[in-house]
Structure 1
């Protein structure tokens, strides 16, 4: 089952009204599969200018970016929807990690959902991405960002992103092989220069503001719901599958249950499987000790 079908199975869009945030050229919910609105932070033309030459868009380039139905402003999704809301579902793939204030963002999404509506998140697993060498985000960091009402990444996060972001072979990590640190942006010295420049100008830059493993996300989610900071229960949490690099979370808006009851809906994940790095199998461990010319047998 591909990732798109997994999302369809979670949100069941047929006959329901929903929003997909940031679909760009590859929406997970197609217009013929339900009454779906595409939302982004810029109108279509401005979005195409911003992504001109971006390598992730594929052969269609900016022409493949789907028209934006809703432009998100500082008032959040509910305000942007206006009379078209509330909706039955929201989908956001690889968005939450870019948001400076994830708690505020999730609360804004909750305000745009009907009671019982669902929010499907696809979240990168830091272990298998360029965030491999970064420390997982804590509940305290998210709460601090929320209390401060952050609208742009804090300088500490900017520094960590540029100092530690490194290309990673996800397949090799799954096989238990150590990943070499090769900073994409020049390492700590370049990161310091970028952070200092932003401090001087007050400008902002798009980075991963938060990084998670499935286990760390589940622990934080339970804590934040238990503090009644989020209006959701956890309807599903599918940890990262072998050889993949992302996990799926389905949140359901519930106001008829206590915060403690909603927090208890978050599954407890095994940190050895869903937080620690994979270990090599015993044949691989043996192979690592053999002369190089013999190791191919154990790959």
Structure 2
């Protein structure tokens, strides 16, 4: 049976093929209690929208397992303007699907890299998750979100995600569309909404990132490695390297 530790090791091996961890400084966003690079393995700092104390309280986690969050990020500001440092690698595990503006976010993270640095993205393959029935994100959707500089999930994102992720909310959407809509509006207006804004298969995501790089929408990065979804896992991985 695959465990969380197996995911951790697979991600670490993928990163280790590209980066000399003994000589590198890294940043992981959203590690919570499952860091790709633990302090025993390498030098990595951690960033999140929540403090470690808040995550421990929200999810009743053992305090000793949660990573110390050095950088508490503000949702409406670019990450590179909040962290005055450059890194050899930046890791995102199951984060990119939550980001409303994927193109803008990758360009933002590029500004955190040293020359030759890499961004490692681990993303769930929708076929292996509750998102399986959702329509895949299109390139047009990504471009529209980039044009509008979306920095918060839309009501559509919230409602679509809720129906996929929660049996109770899916039933509510069928039995009482008005109540479901009102729930969605309240969640949206809270300012704290979180959703899988985007969903892909491995091939779809790889093709879209390749298209955006080749089209000059994401400049100065190249795909240097990718790992397709293996059915024993629910995710795929991609590595983007900075040329500058």
TM band (smaller chain):
0.7 to 0.9
| Other-structure match for 1:235 | 224
Matching of residues 1-299 of structure 1 within 5 Å: 2-3=9-10, 4-49=12-57, 51-53=58-60, 57=61, 60=62, 62-73=63-74, 74-82=76-84, 85-165=85-165, 183=167, 185-187=169-171, 188-189=173-174, 193-199=179-185, 202-203=189-190, 204-231=192-219, 232-255=221-244
Larger of the two Rg values belongs to structure:
1
Cα deviation 1:139-168 (Å, max 9, x = unaligned): 1111111111112111122221122337xx
Q: Distance in 1 between matches of 2:108 and 2:66?
A: 25
How many Å apart are 1:35 and its aligned residue? 2.2
TM-score, structure 1 length as denominator?
0.70
Q: Which runs of 5+ in 2 are unaligned?
A: 1-5
How many Å apart are 1:214 and its aligned residue? 0.8
Aligned residues: 230
Change (3 A) 1:210 1:44: same
| Other-structure match for 1:295 | none
How many Å apart are 1:10 and its aligned residue? 3.7
Change (3 A) 1:242 1:12: farther
Cα deviation 1:22-59 (Å, max 9, x = unaligned): 1111111012322211111123323333x234xxx5xx
TM-score, structure 2 length as denominator?
0.84
Change (3 A) 1:184 1:251: farther
Change (3 A) 1:89 1:184: farther
Q: Distance in 2 between matches of 1:9 and 1:108?
A: 24
Q: Distance in 2 between matches of 1:192 and 1:125?
A: 31
Cα deviation 1:1-39 (Å, max 9, x = unaligned): 842333333433221111011111111101232221111
Root mean square deviation of aligned Cα: 2.3
Q: Is the 8 A contact 1:99 1:105 kept in 2?
A: yes
How many Å apart are 1:104 and its aligned residue? 1.4
Identify the structure with bigger relative contact order (alpha carbons < 8 Å, sequence gap 6+). 2
Moved beyond 4 Å, runs of 4+: none
Q: Distance in 2 between matches of 1:205 and 1:225?
A: 30
Change (3 A) 1:134 1:15: same
Change (3 A) 1:155 1:236: same
